[in-house]
Chain A
Amino acid sequence: MRRLEGRRAIVTGGGSGIGRASAIRFAREGASVLVVGRAANTLETVDLIRAEEGKALGMVTDAAVEANVEAMVQRCVTDLGGLEIFFANIGVTGTNTPLLEQTVEEWEEVYRINVISCFLAIKYAGRHMTAQRHGSIILTSSAASLRANAGAISYSASKAAVNNLAQTAANAFAGTGVRVNAVLPGLVETQLTRKVFEDARARGIEGKLGHVTPMKRPGRAEEIAAAAAFLASDDSSYVDGQLLSVDGGVSSTHPYGRIAL
């Protein structure tokens, strides 16, 4: 089913991982996609979409900077003809420095990229979408927003802030027809988590990755993209302000063991 036919979407963090998979999925569902990322691989995603007859544009920029977010919304409206979907997906992991030695500088950078980027997406996509009285904004959160020991502390706290933004922004947009939801991935191999996977492979324990989840495996970027496509589409038309866990069950059950990050 092509559920996003004729719609225009911005996907940030689109050069790799969940963002790339989502941009490709949205295009396969019929959307025209503005793929945004900081690195040159952003344009490779555009090429991948065009190679399968999809419609995409690329923009290499930092999606946590206010002027850039304003510009990407403008570009999407001007060059793709509108904006119905914004997937705010950029993020950094923070470091696993012991808590007592962490710095304000590190926290500020994690919050800038993980939280302020979502605020800016909501602000500028929201201006456009509330005026047209429909739209879907999707924020990438994490299972780490709900549970300790699933990521760095600054990362976990920042993702909890993202959850709250999904709820408070949904409420702020009451009566406008604009929906805001968050998707909460568990462990997925992406640029952010590559080191975890590489370390596990080097130690010969790749099979242990994701073993704390009831599904006993890590997720794939395409599985998060499918959930994002659900939230982007009218199939979720009555879902608003929600936190959708896509984590193999790790957040809904007690831990099976400790996560080795």
Chain B
Amino acid sequence: MNGRLQNRVCVVTGAARGIGLAIADRFGREGARIACVDISARRLQPTVAELVSRGFDARAFGVDVGRRGDVHATFGAIETEFGAPVAVLVNNAVWARFQPLAEIDVDTVDRMFACGADGLIWTMQAAAPQMERRGGGSIINLSSVSASHPAKDSIAYSALKAGVVGLTRAAAMELSPKRIRVNAIAPGMIGTPASIAQFDKATIVERRAQMPLGRFGEPEEIAGVAAFLASDDSSYVQGALITADGGWTVAAK
């Protein structure tokens, strides 16, 4: 049976673990051919080996998405290796540190924005011409509920993730004539080690109690949203933000 992404070349950044890995796996089950991108080629190897063992056409591409020239070269290599232009791009890679305003330094801010903002511009810039050549495509950018509901010490992270919403809408307007859709997902509290490590135990208990669904999300639940946005099921969804937070942000606290 054909999946909704049958034979489409899908790029997932930050694919080595967590939400990125869950998305790569889900796309594989939808029939996609997956270009797994991560800053560390070494960290990608076991991930890609696992995806291949599940029968998926997955390949590893190590690149720092904050470096424009390297990103363009990588997207060229992806098209060459798969023998087809990129149809779907998921911008999931992020490098984040959480520090109070008084302490945050230049290197931290620069590195966060290079990966989480500049990186999205470079990957979209490299992917869009390939998508245009194949008659369209879908770009999915990972924002966060922190964009509108900042957590503690998230001055840079909140700015970064609010920026993702703005650049998603701007790219949607610009790329729509090329039949490219650009949408964003705002996950809430997802139970990955990286997100759990960000909060103390009291905050975790409090957050959970505030969510109508009463639990943290699983990476697979973000992958379900990404699969919708990647597929033709979302063919009239453009410039949208889908929040997947168990209802956390709907209520006054």
Residues of chain B with a CB closer than 8 A to A246's CB? 234, 236-237, 240
- Contacting residues of chain B (34-82) with chain A, CB-CB under 8 angstroms: none
Residues of A within 8 Å of B212, CB to CB, are 170-171, 173-175, 240-241
Q: How far is the CA of A220 from the CA of B136 in the complex (A)?
A: 18
Enumerate B191-234 residues with CB–CB distance to A below 8 Å: 211-214, 217-218, 221-222, 224-225, 227-228, 232-234
Q: How far is the CA of A240 from the CA of B248 in the complex (A)?
A: 8
Contact with B along A218-261 (1 / 0, CB 8 A): 01100110110110011111111110111111011100000000
Q: Which residues of B are found within 8 Å of A249, using beta-carbon distances?
A: 172-173, 176, 238-240
Q: How far is the CB of A26 from chain B (nearest CB, A)?
A: 13
A239 and B172 contacting across the interface, CB-CB below 8 Å? no
Contact A248 B213 (CB under 8 A): no
Is A213 an interface position by the 8 A CB rule? Answer: yes
Query: Which residue of A179, A215, A253 contacts B213 across the interface (Cβ within 8 Å)?
Result: A179
Contact A220 B236 (CB under 8 A): yes
- Chain B interface residue count: which class? 35 or more
- Size of chain A's interface in residues, with CB distance under 8 A? 42
What residues of A have a CB within 8 angstroms of the CB of B232 in the complex?
Answer: 226
Dominant SS at the A interface? loop
B1 to chain A: closest CB distance in Å?
8
Contact status B214-A237, CB under 8 Å: no
- Please tell me if B99 contacts chain A, counting CB pairs below 8 Å: no
* CB-defined contacts of B240 to chain A, threshold 8 Å: 244-246, 249, 251-252
The answer for the CA separation of A170 and B250 in the assembled complex, in Å, is: 8
Residues from chain B with Cβ under 8 Å of A223 in the complex: 235-236
Q: Are B236 and A219 in contact (CB under 8 A)?
A: yes
Asked whether A224 lies within 8 Å of B236 as measured between CB atoms, the reply is yes
* CA–CA, A242 and B239, complex, Å: 15
| Interface-central residue, B1, B218, B224, B250, by most chain A CB under 10 Å | B250
Instruction: Please give me the residue from chain A that is nearest to B227 by CB atom.
Output: A235
Contact (A177, B213) CB under 8 Å given A167-B250, A236-B225: yes
User: B221–A252 contact, CB under 8 A?
Assistant: no
- Residue B188 CB within 8 A of the other chain: yes
A249 CA to B177 CA, complexed, in Å = 12
Nearest-CB distance from A87 to chain B (Å)?
16
* A247 contact set on B, CB distance < 8 A: 236, 238
List of A residues within 8 angstroms of B249 by Cβ: 241
Within 192-218 of A, Cβ neighbours of B (below 8 Å) are at: 213-216
Q: Is A1 an interface residue (CB 8 A)?
A: yes
Task: Give Cα distance in the complex from A115 to B214, angstroms.
Answer: 27
Type the 1/0 row for B174-193, where 1 means its CB is closer than 8 Å to any CB of A.
00110000000001100000
A214 contacts B239, CB within 8 Å? yes
* A13 at the B interface (CB under 8 A): no
Say yes or no: B246 contacts A240, CB within 8 Å. Answer: yes
Q: List 19 A-B contacts (CB under 8 A).
A: A1-B1, A1-B3, A171-B250, A174-B211, A215-B176, A227-B234, A229-B233, A236-B224, A238-B221, A238-B246, A240-B246, A240-B250, A241-B212, A246-B234, A247-B236, A248-B236, A248-B238, A249-B176, A253-B172
Q: Which residues of A contact B (CB under 8 A)?
A: 1, 167-168, 170-171, 173-175, 177, 179, 186, 213-216, 219-220, 223-224, 226-227, 229-230, 233-242, 244-249, 251-253
* Supplied contacts A240-B212, A252-B238, 6 more A-B pairs, CB within 8 Å: A175-B214, A227-B234, A239-B242, A240-B246, A241-B251, A249-B239
Instruction: Please list the 6 inter-chain residue pairs (A to B) with the smallest Cβ-Cβ separation, ordered nearest first.
Output: A252-B239, A249-B238, A235-B224, A241-B250, A240-B247, A214-B176
